[in-house]
Copies of this chain bind each other. A is one copy, B any other.
Amino acid sequence: MNRVLVTGAAGFIGQAVASCLISRGRDVVGIGRGLPPAGLDLAAWNGEGVTLETLRDCAEGVEEIYHCAGSGSVAMSLQCPDKDFACNVVTTQVVLEFARQQGGPKVVLLSSAGVYGTLDEMPIRIDSPLKPISPYGVNKVICELLIRQYAQHFSVPATIVRLFSVYGEGLRKQLLWDAGHRLLRGDGTFFGTGTETRDWIHVDDAARLIVAAGAAARADVSVINGGTGRAVAIRTIVEGLAARLGGGCDIRFDGQVRAGDPQHYEADIAQALATGWRAEVGLEEGLDRYVDWLKRTVTGRETGDRK
């Protein structure tokens, strides 16, 4: 048997994970809202929400489940906490319950650096205290507790991948998208000090790590930080975008600091490296590709999906 399930397979990360699995010859079943991702035919696609019924309909007997469905928006979790709970917590419980009833295919959960909250010590190790500062972060901690519950009591082997700042072609939100559009409008003023750092990982690298995490799933739950181990300042990203977009407006940061916003993120990626995975898309190449895609998008020569 070579069948695997990807939930949220039409989403930014789920799409990349499905592509990566298909390229390795896996028989991928997808579930998610919208059209199926490139490479997945409609027969292997279920365009419904994640419920026990839809999983039973399409995913009986899968060997691995890559649970990429869910919301990744802190802002949404503050506006509509019930929606974040439904998208993140309830779908995870449903996937785990399905896995239990199936006798334990491996489950990979996409968690987030948001579970750590604000930490002083860098790089962030997987055994750091979990002190989330948003409803989204709390809900991801809850997902992790559920994963451990099902692994410990119901023999569902699992890996948790705590993703840091995933970016790449197709991402229509967050810093690169917002900053790119601002620069295209000739506006070079940005929030913050510019010295805040994030650990950026290209979505293709993230997808390959998530697939590696499937093989690393264990009865006692393995945890992997999904980053590159390199902290890069927001200013570096914005200047990189500006250089590629041209236009020449001055970059200025307003110096504001939002209470509770983490200033720095840098992942300890020992567990990622232990799987044999290595990042392949460097930041320069990643920015090149993102800006190429962004230009095609704003000029209307790109219609929607990632590649």
**Residues in B whose Cβ lies below 8 Å from that of A139:** 149
A97 within 8 A of B: yes
Task: Check if A82 sits within 8 Å of B93, measured CB to CB.
Answer: yes
Chain A residues close to B by CB (< 8 Å)? 78, 81-82, 85, 89-90, 93, 97, 100, 134-135, 138-139, 141-142, 145-146, 148-150, 153-154
Docked pose: A134 CA to B148 CA in angstroms:
11
Known interface pairs A82-B97, A93-B85. Does A145 touch B138 (Cβ–Cβ under 8 Å)? yes
Contact of A141 with B145 in the complex, beta carbons under 8 Å: yes
Closest to A84 in B: B149
Nearest neighbor of A80 in chain B, beta-carbon distance: B97
A97 touches which one: B81, B97, B141 (CB < 8 A)? B81
Contact B134 A138 (CB under 8 A): no
Chain copies in the assembly?
Answer: 2
List the B side residues contacting A153 at CB < 8 Å.
Answer: 78, 81, 134-135
Query: Could you tell me the distance between the alpha carbons of A134 and B154 in the complex, rounded to whole angstroms?
Result: 11
Complex alpha-carbon distance, A135 and B153, angstroms: 7
Q: Closest CB of chain B to A305's CB: distance in Å?
A: 34
B142 touches A81 (CB 8 A): no
B146 close to A142 (CB less than 8 A): yes
A139 → chain B, closest Cβ, in Å? 8
